[in-house]
Structures are given as C-alpha cells and as structure tokens.
Structure 1
Amino acid sequence: MTIKEIAKMAGVSTATVSRAINNSGYIKIEVKEKILRIIEETGFTPSSVAQDLKRNRTNLIGVIIPKISSFSVAQVVDGISLELNKRNFSILLANTNNNAEEELKYLKIFQEKRANGILILGTEISEEHKNLINSSSIPVIVIGQNVSEAGIPCVVQQEKEAAYDITRYLTDNNHKRIAYIGTDIEDFAVRNERKAGFLKALADSDIYFDEKCTYYSGFSSDTGYTGIKKLLKEFPDLTAVFCATGTMATGAVNALLESGSGVPENVSVTGMGSTNYGINTLKITSVIYDYVKTGSEGAKMLLNILDNKSKSEKISVPYRFFQGNTVKKI
C-alpha cells in the first residue's frame, strides 16, 4: 500500500493525503476523516523517513573523529552511542586521520546530508573551523577542545589541572630531574594544556626545568619508546618522565625494561588518559579521564539543543588519579 493508492481510494490528491497524515494545511473535516478511516482499514503506515523529512528531522547525527584506532576516541564514541540510541538517533561516522581539511569537509557534508546535528572530536579548532561551526545551519558540539569563548558549545577534559596534579605527585615523591615526552601534532589540549600544567607544577615546587629535557613526536607508543632512550643518553641523571598520554608511557616503560632500567627503581613513569595501559605486573601511574562520560555529555548537550532546551556553553568532565606502581619515592 502506498500514499498514491490511499489517494485513489479516497478520491483525492496525494497532497491532500499528506496534509491529513501530517495534520497540516487546510483540509475539510469530512475528507480528513475519510482518509484516516481508509488508512486505518488498510493498515497503511506512513513512511517514518518521509514524516521526519517533513519535520526536518532525520534522526541522523554526524560524528567526526580524528583517528578510529584510538582507544580514547572509541570510548567517546561509545558514550555518544549510548545516549543517541536511547532517542533512536543513528550515527554517521567520519574518520579524518587528524586531517584538518577533512574535518572542514565533513562539517559541510553533514549539513548537506540533512544530519540533525554534529559532534566533532576536535584536535586543533582553527578560525576556519570556528567560522564554519558558527555559521552552521545545524547545531555543532565540540568535544575535547575548549572553544566556549567563540560561543561554541563544548565538552572538555580538565587537561591543565590533571597534568598539574600528576606532576605534583612526582615532585611530592622528591623527583626533581623530570623529563617531558609529548606530541608535536596539532592538538591544543594534549600539546599545550598538558605541557602548561606540567610546567606550572614544577614552578610551584620551585624546580627548574630544562627545555632541552623534552621529546616530541606523534601519539604512538614509539614516541615514548624512542623519547626515553634519547633523553637518558643526554640526561643520565633523570629520575622520572612525564608522558602526555598513556600510549607514550607504555612505550617509555617498554624501552626502560628492555634496556635493563628498573621501573620505578631507576626511572619513574607517569601517563595520562586510562588505566588500560600497563606491562606485565606494572600499572602505569596516571590521571584517568572518563571518556565514555565525555561522549555521553556531548550527546546530551546536542539533544538538549535539538529539544530547544537551554544549552550549556561548556561542560568540564572530572578526572581521577590512579596511583599504579610506576612511581618511586626517592
């Protein structure tokens, strides 16, 4: 049964049937009742897609991610899915491989594809990003980068505070010769805010930091692996290393164990992100982010906007400290 057949049986146009179904526009009461009676008798079910399009609601949400293989990204997407599934929304997933141009492309594509909203897990939100988001015809939520000053709603981690706390844990355990391993990839939160928290903690502890005692590369474990080897050759008196991610910390621990350096007997190691990181009996001392909650909060923020409820400009997701066993008091 189709809408054309219903129209033929009722002796009216398909447009009149559409008005009766959607309860919109002028239609005589007796004609509307006839159409609805035929629909009931035939068991005709109007296309939910067609009705959604009529209401400009497709129940599709675009989710733009930087790297599909990332553990933290997968957790965020899980949180998004949990909330959207409750409301029968489906996800259109776009993987950009940390390419800013791809992010901009998908911000445009999802608008053209009639998505109801977009969640973007940002790494570096440029002025071009901000302009495109602010001019978007559908709501956009940024996850992972603080863009509230640009009037863009966002969900963020407390990056600077978390990095500060774990660095103070090192200094409270009497470490003064601490190396820093981070990323040179464009990700303001990981690259800039974590480094800022690290430096502030050292300054507040009256510890001088030599900028030469740093190593930067990508997000992989190889960054930690190569970085700690290089740093120990140049600074053999190091007692600890701060790694900007848990993956980097895993690489650093592997390199230290391979070279015969005990962890934490010779070098203490910290990471950031998840308890998912460890080697054998070693559990890396870390600050833990609730990535699932982060995704969930982003999805709820977007749904609130779609429901015309009041919107939050910024939500900060709390973190927690995981002591692990890779830091030694000296």
Structure 2
Amino acid sequence: MAVKIKDVAKKAGVSVTTVSRVLNGEKYVKDDLKLRVNRAIEELGYVPSQIARSLVSRKTNLIGVIVPDITSNFYSTILSSIEETASSNGYNLLVCNISEDIDKEFKYLTIFKEMRVEGIVIMHEKINEEIRTFINKLNVPVIFSSVKPMDQEFISVIIDDYQAAYEATEHLIGLGHERIGFIGGDMRDITSGQNRYSGYRNALTDHKLKIVYEWIRFGDYKVQSGYDMMREILRGKQLPTAVFAVSDDMAVGAMNCIYDHKLQVPGDISVVGFDGSQLTELVRPRLSSMEQPIYEMGSVTVGTLLKLISAEGEYDSGGDIIMKHRFIARDSCRRIVNP
C-alpha cells in the first residue's frame, strides 16, 4: 500500500500538520523536527501527492496550452520554448493538440478548469462564441501566442504579420521579380491569413505590379497543402517567376512540387517561406524565409503569463507585445533581369 502522510507523522513522532509544513517549505519549523520528518520520508519512501499539496497551497503550478497542430515545425518549436521557460520557473504544462477541431478545444478548456491550471496559453484564433464566453469567465490569466483574435482584450505576443508579408514580397520585387505567386493560409485567421495576404497584395500594388489571381492559392500551412497549391499554380498558362508561401512548411511543399515537375528552385521559380523554422536550413536549396523570433516568442509568452499570475490579474503589460521580424535570404531565390 502507498505510504501516507499520517505514516510519516507516526514514524517521525510529530503531527500531520508538522509534516505538511515541512513538505511545503514553511518557516518556523524547528530544525530537529525537520530532520526527523525528512528522515522518516526517506526511510518510508514517501512521495507527496501533488494534488493534495495544491489543495492546501491553492497553487497547482500548472499551465494549460492549446496547440492547433503539434506536427507543425513552427508550433513544435514555440512549444519547446514554452515548456523550457515554464519548467525553469517551477511550472508544468498540460498540452492539448486540437488539430484545428474547435469542439476539442472546448473540452480541453473544461479540463483546464477542472485541473485548476493557473494560466492558459492559446496558439490559434478560430474562436467561436461559446469558447469566447467561456475563456472570458475563467478566473485565470489567458494569453495568446503568435496570434491576435478579433475583439479580444487578452494580451497577444505577436509580430506585425502584415508588415512582415509586405517585406517578404518586397524582397522578391527587389530581385527583379514581377510575376509573384502566393500560397496563403486559412483566411478565417486574421493574423496569418488575412494580414499576410494583405501585405502581399499591397506590396504588389505599391510597386505597380499586377495581381494575377491564377497564381494565388490558399492552403492550411502544411507541407502537403503547399505541394497541392503549387501544383494548381503550375497548371496555368503562364508561370510566376517567384512564389511566396506564408509558412515554411508550405514553402517546402511548393519546392518539392516544382522539383517533381522537372523545374528548378531558384532557376525557374524562386520560393520564399515564412516563420524561420528549422526547415529552412534542412532543405536544399536552403529556404529564404521571413523569420519570426519563434523561440523568444515562447519565452516572452510564459514570462508575461507568469507576471499575470503573480499579480493576480492586476499586471499591466501595456497591451500586446510586438516582436521583431527579419528576412533571412538563403539559396531559394535568384535575381532576374527583366527585358
């Protein structure tokens, strides 16, 4: 049978309250009593119940995390940073991968409430009214990482997605490209969908370049989606000289499709990605990409959430936290000379 706290108290010859105080690191417990309790714990092999301790201390040291797609290179990287930062501060994660399923999200948020998590990180913005109402009523801090939902008062840790997409498109224009295709994301997403598409369109318009809808497709940020969308673009009568994809995963899928159609990157079509994930250095040619500070975003997300937790909701961050983006040129783009 499992050793209980009362067994430790009996072995040490002290009260259960004294054992509890020693376990919780409270002051004003005599050194000789601490020694007797710790010796009894070691001899009996007692393992404290985290649930029991949390009921006493009113702290669970748990953070709930909602991830839309854990297979994504972007989300797996930012999640790694979140876990590392949380762990170094004495917190554990409850990670839930919803696979873009909103029904799953409501179920997991309910579990977070039951497990008494002290804070929640959400990494997607497709929030229906039921979920919106639920999180607004939760008595715990909620922070959004890498996304900014519409009409939400919660803090978001993000980049300027519109400006980043504008600059990525402008990089291709600066290399002499006038026929630039686009593989976008889910247009229900404000951040990575609408804002990045607007940045692409406005960059073309501001440089007096034509928007060719035959070269514009929308996917789901995954490698296969990038492949499928690129295949549709390649079926057109005239091909673009460059393609901008709003995720590195889709950019890699597009590169694979170009290769399978006996074309070359960047010889025939230049490709630019978005995120700056580890994929950029793993593929050949190495992928030029608009880099988000992914790892730093995860760390800042947790750091801000912990301030909200310690301040019991009274911490004023000054609003959303906008991280800096930067374009990293590698080998997947070439300069062309227009006649």
Scaled by the length of structure 2, what TM-score is found? Answer: 0.83
Aligned to 1:252: 254
Tell me the secondary structure at the aligned position of residue 282 of structure 1.
coil
- Change over 3 Å in CA distance of 1:185–1:108 after alignment to 2: farther
Deviations 1:8-30 (A, max 9, x none): 99897x67986999899xxxxxx
Aligned to 1:199: 201
Deviation at 1:125, TM superposition (A): 3.1
Point out where structure 1 has 5 or more consecutive residues left out of the alignment: 25-31
RMSD: 3.1
Q: Contact between 2:164 and 2:199, CA under 8 Å: does it hold in 1? A: yes
Deviation at 1:323, TM superposition (A): 0.7
* 1:119 has 2:124 as partner: no
* 1:173 has 2:171 as partner: no
Aligned to 1:298: 301
Aligned to 1:310: 315
Tell me the secondary structure at the aligned position of residue 235 of structure 2.
helix
Count the aligned residue pairs: 321
Deviation at 1:318, TM superposition (A): 1.5
Deviation at 1:244, TM superposition (A): 1.4
2:286, 2:107 → 1: CA distance? 40
- Change over 3 Å in CA distance of 1:57–1:259 after alignment to 2: same
Tell me the secondary structure at the aligned position of residue 157 of structure 2.
strand
Q: Contact between 2:150 and 2:190, CA under 8 Å: does it hold in 1? A: no
Tell me the secondary structure at the aligned position of residue 150 of structure 1.
coil
1:17, 1:251 → 2: CA distance? 59
- Change over 3 Å in CA distance of 1:125–1:157 after alignment to 2: farther
- Change over 3 Å in CA distance of 1:196–1:128 after alignment to 2: farther
Aligned to 1:208: 210
Deviation at 1:84, TM superposition (A): 1.0
Aligned to 1:322: 328
Tell me the secondary structure at the aligned position of residue 87 of structure 2.
helix
Deviation at 1:326, TM superposition (A): 2.0
Deviations 1:21-68 (A, max 9, x none): 9899xxxxxxx98x9965654446694733432221011111111112
Aligned to 1:29: none
Tell me the secondary structure at the aligned position of residue 121 of structure 2.
strand
Scaled by the length of structure 1, what TM-score is found? Answer: 0.85
Q: Contact between 1:163 and 1:195, CA under 8 Å: does it hold in 2? A: yes
2:85, 2:53 → 1: CA distance? 23
Deviation at 1:282, TM superposition (A): 0.9
- Change over 3 Å in CA distance of 1:134–1:255 after alignment to 2: same
Aligned to 1:28: none
Deviation at 1:165, TM superposition (A): 0.4
* 1:137 has 2:139 as partner: yes
* 1:219 has 2:221 as partner: yes
- Change over 3 Å in CA distance of 1:210–1:20 after alignment to 2: closer
Tell me the secondary structure at the aligned position of residue 218 of structure 2.
strand
Of the structure 1 ranges 74-83 and 273-282, higher mean CA displacement relative to structure 2 is found in 273-282
Tell me the secondary structure at the aligned position of residue 180 of structure 1.
strand
Q: Contact between 2:106 and 2:131, CA under 8 Å: does it hold in 1? A: yes
Q: 2:291 aligns with which of 288, 294, 302?
A: 288
1:318, 1:81 → 2: CA distance? 22
Point out where structure 2 has 5 or more consecutive residues left out of the alignment: 42-46
Aligned to 2:241: 239
> What is the aligned-residue identity percentage?
27
* 1:89 has 2:70 as partner: no
1:319, 1:66 → 2: CA distance? 22
Of the structure 1 ranges 43-52 and 110-119, higher mean CA displacement relative to structure 2 is found in 43-52
Deviation at 1:277, TM superposition (A): 3.0
Deviation at 1:186, TM superposition (A): 4.3
